[in-house]
Amino acid sequence: MKYLFLAISSILMIAAQMVAGSNFFLFNFLDFSLLLIAYWALYRNRIQALFVGSLTGVLLDAVIGWPLGYNGFGKTLAAYVIGQTAKHFNVEEGWIRFVLLAGSSCVSSFSIFLLFALLQRGASPVFLGASLAQALITGLVGVLLFAAHDSYQHAHSGKAS
């Protein structure tokens, strides 16, 4: 049941990404799937975050027409990086979260770029530039979203107590 929820949430996130990206150009620079992965890795379960990363990545590949696996590889790696970083660092701080999100986004993009190069597909340097922009925007939006989430949680827990 839990994994069904993971799957549905992943599908919904990719659908949201596509809808938003096709209607608002700037949303193409916001990695919805990475935000979902980060949420799962920071607030829920790191192993489940790995599966979310794999699934969203493969779905993204399917949607954008790439051979399946590129984004799956990158997002899984990003989920692992976020999970391992959260284990060693205090990720409560906003700037750390930003670095973590932007960095994991860069890791994901760079790994994809590397796979492109290694597996005999042409990769334009534009991809790296766009990926950097995407990392910054995703990091920034992620920090804001998670801060809002934390505030909500605090408020909710305060009400409960």
* CB proximity list for 76: less than 8 A, separation 6 or greater: 50, 53, 54, 57
Does residue 10 bind other proteins (CB under 8 A)? no
Q: Is 94 in the site for other proteins (CB under 8 A)?
A: no
When asked if residue 120 is in the footprint of other proteins (CB under 8 A), the reply is yes
d(CA 78, CA 37): 8
Residues within window 50-89 making contact with other proteins, judged by CB under 8 A: 50-51, 53-54, 57-58, 67-70, 72-73, 76-77, 79-80, 83-84, 87
Task: Specify the residue, 72 or 142, whose C-beta has the smaller distance to other proteins.
Answer: 72
Q: Which two tokens stand for residue 14?
A: 């990719």
Geometric angle at alpha carbon 33, from 1 and 139, rounded to 5°:
135
Q: DSSP assignment, residue 66? A: P
CB of 45 to other proteins, least distance (A): 8
CB of residue 136 to other proteins, shortest distance in Å: 25
Q: List the one residue from 12, 15, 47, 148 that touches other proteins (CB under 8 A).
A: 47
119 binds other proteins, rule: CB under 8 A: yes
Give yes or no for residue 139 binding other proteins (CB under 8 A). Answer: no
The type of residue at 89 is F
Query: Residue 105 and residue 77: Cα distance in Å, rounded?
Result: 10
Residue 50 or 102 with smaller CB distance to other proteins? 50
The tokens of 114 are what? 């590397």
With CA atoms as reference, report the closest residue to 80 among 108, 121, 110: 108
Alpha helices of 65-93 — where are they, by DSSP H? 70-88
Q: Where do contacts with other proteins occur on this chain (CB under 8 A)?
A: 46-47, 50-51, 53-54, 57-58, 67-70, 72-73, 76-77, 79-80, 83-84, 87, 115, 119-121
